[in-house]
């Protein structure tokens, strides 16, 4: 009874939180756990200094004196312009990390100690301050600090799939934060909070609108609204970019067509770029989705992606703008869909302007729960490539499922392409380590909306955070990032941290298992990407819109044959990876059904048949989610009641969904295998025909 009473008392002491403060909660701390700073020095007008003072006041209960004679331990925040900084850190040393890098160092001078946060630029200074605050929040500050950091990628950008009507495509956290209908009359305070959250993890750019862009975004009315958002983000060193519709010259300008090789079309874009930069002088550039899923592009006029991208790049070049041209091409073709991007873009390698960067999804299909990396990485060497990751969980349970994505992204970034030697990981091929291009970049599709907690699920915030941290430094581990986020978002208590961190780290593999294990992919229900529908057949639909195209289940086996005897997608990978994937015995089992059509009785490495292994994987995913529920329930003493209950509720949904996936897939695939579900695992609780009747209306889920 004493223990129970203590737990209830502890719960009562935790004020309810709605998650709106994200990882910037700055909880009050005991004086003994705070750095012994006695004075703050620096430019009082600096955003970096103001941000530190705000955090310090929240954590300590009072501001840090900015004047006075007590200099026992001074915190000095400044750039090379600051004379005190130059006295303590050599200019050359400070210039090496660049204008976004920073140095945090403790300098001893007799009985006086100074901790310096310094950078060659204001942006780096802000990032350095957030790093220092992060160390304080997580209990890792030391009185003897020696840190030098600089970002791995130049451009670390969020892609919003936000529509001008306020909805968000593939967004599961409410309506768009941009609230276009209220601009210019009302500027939401959320814009500054958004900028602060992004700057705290090193994100320095944002695309405001959906890649399925309407030409209206380029009208003067909307450009004036974009300017107001840009003004709010600028103090936090975040540049604004826009997705554009390739047919804008025809749709907006009244031209006969939008052929990129027509002089009047090129002139229209030049004039439009001039107009944009008059309104927003530090505008970043364009993101373009063209000739994909019905959107217009240069191929409509017999032109190439390079000719379309270069025309836009020429218009932006005088202003320092760039073009991010997406390689997500998805047109009707007889070719294996997984091969399309490589087939269209590899012949164009070296033909793009130096201010064009090709944005490539992590996998060759479409943000599936698990994919091999896109073969364009490493192979396309004369053109800058930027990875595109999806933070919003379009194919991983929306905002209902707890799925920590840093583990997925680490697997992708650390995948060895073998195209440039043994160290040619995807990360090394895109961050400037192995290939030299004018710009390096990485993008994440944002999961942000108007929900109080920004992301729909409290744990989905961790994916926004993890993207920023990996974009800054992809050598960080998924474990390190999870622990940072948990400490700042919840508590530093080890009794909470260790089990919840392990839950996060296992959550992606768990989701893969109860959805699409062993390389299965794209077996989602028609018209949305939430539940299972491997049986889906729609008369007249393109084959590559339908699950049977991908799983190819038959009496003989299951999987997509991408070997040299099938679609030959393996040939798009560099040797020896192509041979590894091509061989049934050497192909990684996690990708087995991605590259091979495998007999049901094929023996896996653990001795089970393929059918039995598939069954055990599905059941294992279900059991793991139930373990998540049990674990979270034990965490009640460490979490405020509001967030605890909301996560608990979402885990119930996830547990039910996992059973739905398991039963639907095993019962359906059993009609082909004809083999019994292993008796040791949980029996299905649904009937297949019952599951086939489930129809969810999630088309407009925003």
pLDDT over threshold 80, residue 8: no
- The string of pLDDT tens digits covering residues 95-143 is 999 999 999 999 998 888 999 999 999 999 999 999 999 999 999 998 8
- Per the annotation, the verdict on 394 as an active-site residue is yes
Choosing from 293, 498, 601, 633, the catalytic residue is 293
- In degrees to the nearest 10, what's the CA dihedral of 308, 314, 316, 319? 170
C-alpha–C-alpha distance, residues 102 and 105, integer Å: 10
Token digits of residue 185: 């009359």
List CB contacts of 156: < 8 A, sequence separation 6 or more: 202, 203, 204, 205, 441, 442, 468, 471, 472
- The string of pLDDT tens digits covering residues 271-324 is 999 999 999 999 999 999 999 999 999 999 999 999 999 999 999 999 999 999
Locate all alpha helices (DSSP H) within 536-695, ordered by sequence: 547-551, 577-582, 592-595, 610-634, 641-673, 688-692
Under DSSP, the state recorded for 364 is S
Q: Which residue reads 């053109």 in tokens?
A: 383
The pLDDT assigned to 9 comes to 35
**155-489: CATH number:** 3.20.20.80
Termini Cα distance of the chain: 45
Q: In whole angstroms, how far apart are CA 118 and each of 105, 197, 471?
A: 9, 21, 21
Listed by start position, the domains of the chain span 22-149, 155-489, 513-560+597-692
- The string of pLDDT tens digits covering residues 391-418 is 999 999 999 999 999 999 999 999 999 9
Fold exhibited by the domain 22-149: Chitobiase; domain 2 (3.30.379)
- In degrees to the nearest 10, what's the CA dihedral of 498, 504, 510, 512? -150
Tell if the pTM clears 0.85, that is, is over it. yes
The pLDDT assigned to 110 comes to 83
The pLDDT assigned to 72 comes to 86
Cβ proximity of 65 and 75 under 8 Å: no
Measuring CA to CA, which residue among 412, 353, 402, 352 is closest to residue 651?
402
The pLDDT assigned to 143 comes to 83
Band (pLDDT 50/70/90 cuts) for residue 331 is confident
Average pLDDT, the chain: 95
Choosing from 17, 154, 344, 366, the catalytic residue is 366
The pLDDT assigned to 32 comes to 87
- The string of pLDDT tens digits covering residues 522-558 is 999 988 899 999 999 999 899 999 999 999 999 999 9
Burial 481-492 (b: 16+ CB within 10 A, else e): bbbbbbbbbbbb
Q: Which residue reads 């960080």 in tokens?
A: 476
- Per the annotation, the verdict on 154 as an active-site residue is no
Band (pLDDT 50/70/90 cuts) for residue 698 is low
The mean pLDDT of 643-670, rounded to a whole number, is 98
The mean pLDDT of 75-101, rounded to a whole number, is 94
Choosing from 394, 533, 544, 619, the catalytic residue is 394
- Per the annotation, the verdict on 293 as an active-site residue is yes
The pLDDT assigned to 13 comes to 63
Burial label, 162 (beta-carbon count in 10 A; 0-12, 13-18, 19+): buried
CATH number assigned to the domain with residue range 513-560+597-692, chosen from the 4 options 3.40.190.10, 3.40.640.10, 3.40.50.2300, 3.90.1330.10? 3.90.1330.10
Token digits of residue 378: 């490493």
C-alpha–C-alpha distance, residues 418 and 437, integer Å: 20
The mean pLDDT of 224-239, rounded to a whole number, is 98
Band (pLDDT 50/70/90 cuts) for residue 650 is very high
The pLDDT assigned to 93 comes to 93
């Amino acid at each position: 009874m004493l223990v129970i009473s203590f737990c209830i008392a502890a719960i009562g002491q935790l004020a309810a939180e709605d998650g709106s403060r994200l990882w910037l909660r700055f909880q009050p701390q005991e004086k003994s756990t705070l750095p012994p700073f006695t004075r703050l020095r620096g430019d009082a007008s600096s955003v970096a200094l103001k941000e530190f003072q705000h955090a310090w006041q929240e954590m300590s209960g009072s501001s840090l004196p900015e004047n006075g004679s007590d200099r026992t331990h001074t915190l000095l925040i400044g750039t090379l312009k600051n004379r005190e900084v130059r006295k303590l850190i050599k200019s050359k040393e400070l210039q090496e990390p660049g204008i976004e890098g920073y140095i945090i160092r403790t300098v001893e001078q007799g009985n006086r100690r100074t901790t310096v946060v310094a950078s060659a630029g204001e942006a780096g200074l802000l990032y350095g301050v957030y790093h220092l605050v992060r160390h304080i929040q997580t209990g890792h500050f030391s009185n003897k600090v020696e840190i030098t950091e600089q970002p791995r990628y130049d451009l670390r950008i969020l892609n919003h799939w936000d529509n001008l009507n306020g909805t968000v495509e593939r967004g599961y956290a409410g309506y768009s934060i941009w609230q276009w209908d209220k601009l210019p009359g009302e500027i939401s305070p959320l814009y500054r909070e958004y900028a602060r959250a992004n700057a705290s993890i090193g994100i320095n750019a944002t695309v405001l609108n959906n890649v399925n862009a309407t030409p209206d975004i380029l009208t003067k009315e909307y450009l004036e609204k974009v300017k107001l958002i840009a003004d709010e983000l600028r103090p936090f060193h975040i540049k604004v970019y826009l997705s554009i519709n390739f047919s804008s010259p025809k749709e907006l300008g009244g031209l006969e067509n939008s052929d990129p090789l027509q002089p009047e079309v090129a002139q229209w874009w030049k004039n439009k770029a001039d107009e944009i930069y008059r309104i927003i002088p530090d505008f970043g550039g364009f993101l373009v989705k063209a000739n994909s899923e019905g959107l217009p592009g240069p191929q409509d006029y017999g032109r190439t992606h390079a000719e379309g991208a270069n025309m836009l790049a020429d218009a932006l070049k005088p202003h320092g703008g760039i073009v991010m041209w997406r390689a997500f091409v998805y047109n009707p073709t007889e070719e294996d869909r997984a091969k399309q991007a490589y087939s269209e873009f590899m012949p164009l390698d070296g033909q793009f302007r130096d201010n064009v960067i090709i944005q490539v999804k992590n996998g060759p299909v479409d943000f599936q729960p698990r994919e091999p990396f896109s073969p364009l990485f490493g192979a396309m060497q004369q053109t800058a490539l930027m990875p595109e990751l999806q933070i919003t969980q379009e194919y991983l349970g929306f905002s209902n499922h707890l799925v920590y994505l840093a583990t997925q992204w680490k697997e992708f970034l650390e995948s060895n392409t073998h195209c440039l030697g043994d160290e040619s990981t995807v990360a090394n091929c895109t961050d400037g380590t192995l290939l030299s291009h004018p710009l390096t970049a990485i993008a994440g599709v944002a999961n942000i909306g108007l929900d109080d907690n920004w992301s729909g699920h409290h744990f989905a915030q961790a994916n926004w955070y993890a993207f920023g941290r990996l974009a800054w430094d992809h050598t960080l581990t998924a474990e390190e990032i999870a622990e940072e986020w948990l400490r700042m978002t919840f508590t530093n208590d080890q009794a909470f941290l260790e089990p919840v961190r392990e839950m996060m780290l296992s959550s992606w593999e768990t989701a893969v298992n109860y959805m699409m294990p062993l390389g299965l992919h794209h077996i989602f229900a028609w018209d949305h990407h939430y539940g299972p529908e491997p049986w889906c057949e729609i008369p007249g639909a393109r084959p590559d819109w339908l699950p049977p195209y991908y799983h190819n289940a038959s009496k003989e086996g299951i999987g997509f044959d991408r070997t040299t005897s099938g679609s030959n997608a393996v040939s798009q990978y560099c040797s020896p990876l192509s041979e590894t994937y091509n061989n049934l015995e050497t192909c990684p089992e996690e990708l087995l059904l991605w590259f091979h059509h495998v007999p049901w009785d094929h023996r896996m490495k653990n001795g089970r048949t393929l059918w039995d292994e598939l069954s055990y994987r599905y059941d294992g995913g279900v059991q793991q989610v139930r373990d998540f529920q049990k674990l979270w329930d034990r965490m009640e003493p460490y979490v405020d009641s509001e967030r605890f209950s909301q996560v608990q509720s979402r885990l119930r949904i996830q547990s039910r969904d996992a059973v739905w996936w398991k039963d639907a897939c095993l019962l359906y695939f059993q009609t082909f295998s004809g083999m019994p579900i292993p008796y040791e695992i949980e029996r299905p609780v649904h009937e297949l025909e019952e599951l086939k009747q489930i129809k969810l209306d999630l088309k407009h889920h925003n």
